[in-house]
Structure formats: C-alpha cells, structure tokens
A and B are shown apart, each in its own frame.
Chain A
Amino acid sequence: NAGVTQTPKFQVLKTGQSMTLQCAQDMNHEYMSWYRQDPGMGLRLIHYSVGAGITDQGEVPNGYNVSRSTTEDFPLRLLSAAPSQTSVYFCASSPREALNYGYTFGSGTRLTVV
C-alpha cells in the first residue's frame, strides 16, 4: 500500500551509540519532515526537506543529521544518542502543491536511550 514507511518500529540504544532511522515514501512527494513527539510537548520539527538534495533545520535539530539523496528516502541519523533523545519519531511527507492535502505520516519509531 502507498504511504510512509518507517523502520524500525522500536529501538533501544545505549548512550553514545549512533543509529539511523529510516523513512521511505512511494507517493513521489517533494516535502518530507521528521518530528519528535514527547509527552506534553506535541510534535516538534527536527529537520525537513523540500526535495532531493535540499534539507533544512527545524525547531530541534541538535544531535540529528539528515540527507535526501532521493525523492523517496529521508533517513534521520542520531550521531551520539543521549537520554534526552528518548522519544517517538515520526516521518511525514506531502506533495509540493499541498493546498488541499495534508501530510501523510508514518507509524512512528519508538526510541529509548538508556
């Protein structure tokens, strides 16, 4: 089925480890974003991309890197995991002309850093 696929669904990391959260969409959407969701904080934008080769920082980018080498994929890299990065991470995508469309979200990755 078409949509946004995130892997893994669950992950436990030790402090200082690095890892990549994968996000792929098969809808040919130009816009892709990464959010983190923490209790009482809503969703906060980490990084976003308006197309292949173009990325920019959101509200809470520190400790995370992204790249967008293809339209389909938008991986999020944690450079050196910290307990403060324990969260649920959501990837989302949208067509450029989003006048009548919202974002399509993946099902999330629940990350625990110990």
Chain B
Amino acid sequence: SQQGEEDPQALSIQEGENATMNCSYKTSINNLQWYRQNSGRGLVHLILIRSNEREKHSGRLRVTLDTSKKSSSLLITASRAADTASYFCATDFTGANSKLTFGKGITLSVRP
C-alpha cells in the first residue's frame, strides 16, 4: 500500500500543551495534506503542503515536510479541548493528483 502512516496512533495531552503528530510515506508526492475528523463527522481539510515547500503555517497549525526522509509533522500549539479529534495525513502521489491516499489516523485527546 502507498498510504501514509501516522505516528503515534493515539495521543493524550493537557489543554495548553502542544501536540505533535507525524506521518511517513513511501513514494514521491505532489503534496501532503492533513485532515481532522470529529467523532461521527466527515473529514475537514486543515492544511496542504506542496513537495517543494518545507514548512507552512495556518493559525495554531504548523506543518513541516522532509521529502528526503519522506515524512511530515503536524504541530498544534496551545491545544484546546475542541482539538480532540482524529487526524489523518493524506498523500497525493506524483502523477495522481486526483487520488488522495489516507493513513489510518491519529486519535488526539486534549484533557481540559
């Protein structure tokens, strides 16, 4: 399978702490995306980073991409209870812009 693999599978932190989630993949990509899924809901797009970018910010989110290591990290700063959700990385492999491949997800719990 070409899907990305997230690490850790589950993460529990205190409100106000930072949460770091990692994603590794196997082959060259066009871009890598992170999504959030609240319980019982659809996925929501958070941020996209292209293969020629190394870091991107969006509000409290910071994403890094290391194409030499085929890995990405999502950092959520100053976490809130509302950040409790599952987080997925999705990769757009070179030449397959129409096909996103998802990892299995990370369950983040933020304790109030």
Contact = CB atoms under 8 A, between A and B. Distances in A.
A103 B45 contact: yes
Contacts of B100: 33, 45, 92, 103
Given A42-B3, A43-B88, A107 B98 contact: no
A79 to B, nearest CB: 23
Contacts of A74: none
B97 interface: yes
Interface residue tally of chain A, by bracket? 20 to 34
B102 A102 contact: no
Given A42-B102, A45-B101, A90 B42 contact: yes
Contacts of B3: 42
B42 A102 contact: no
A69 B43 CA distance: 26
Chain A CB within 10 Å — which of B43, B92, B97, B103 has the most?
B43
Interface size class of B (residues with CB under 8 A): 20 to 34
Contacts of B43: 43, 90, 92, 103, 105
Contacts of B104: 40-42
Contact of A108 (B42, B97, B101): B42
A98 interface: yes
A7 to B, nearest CB: 14
Interface string A49-71: 11000000011000000000000
B26 interface: no
A106 B33 CA distance: 17
A104 interface: yes
Contacts of B101: 45, 59
Interface of A: 4, 31, 33, 35, 40-45, 48-50, 58-59, 90, 92, 94, 96, 98-108
